[in-house]
Amino acid sequence: NAGVTQTPKFRVLKTGQSMTLLCAQDMNHEYMYWYRQDPGMGLRLIHYSVGEGTTAKGEVPDGYNVSRLKKQNFLLGLESAAPSQTSVYFCASSGPYGYTFGSGTRLTVV
């Protein structure tokens, strides 16, 4: 089925470790996004991309980097994980009629 796929679904990191979250979409969407969601909160935008090779900061970009080397993929990197980055991360892409979200990555930093 067409949609947005996130990997991994779960991950536990130690403080200071690095990791990359992968988002892939097969809808040929130009726009892609990374959000984080903390307990009891709405989603907050971390970074987004308006096309291959572009990235831009969202509401809470500190501590994260992103890359969009291919149109269908949007990577979110944590260079040195901190406990404050424990969260659920959602990727999304948008086309003419709205956003499609992935199923999320639950990240715990201990």
Partner 1 sequence: DAKTTQPTSMDCAEGRAANLPCNHSTISGNEYVYWYRQIHSQGPQYIIHGLKNNETNEMASLIITEDRKSSTLILPHATLRDTAVYYCIVRGGLGGSQGNLIFGKGTKLSVKP
List residues near partner 1 by CB under 8 A: 4, 29-31, 33, 35, 40-45, 48, 50, 58-59, 88, 90, 92, 94-104, 106
Closest contact distance (angstroms) between CB of 86 and partner 1 is 14
Give the C-alpha separation, 84 to 56, whole Å: 22
**Gyration radius from the chain CA atoms:** 13
Nearest Cα residue to 93 out of 49, 38, 45: 49
Residue closer to partner 1 by CB (options 64, 90) is 90
Closest contact distance (angstroms) between CB of 65 and partner 1 is 18
Are the C-beta atoms of 89 and 11 separated by less than 8 Å?
A: no
Residue closer to partner 1 by CB (options 99, 108) is 99
What are the structure tokens assigned to 18, written together? 């690095």
Closest contact distance (angstroms) between CB of 92 and partner 1 is 7
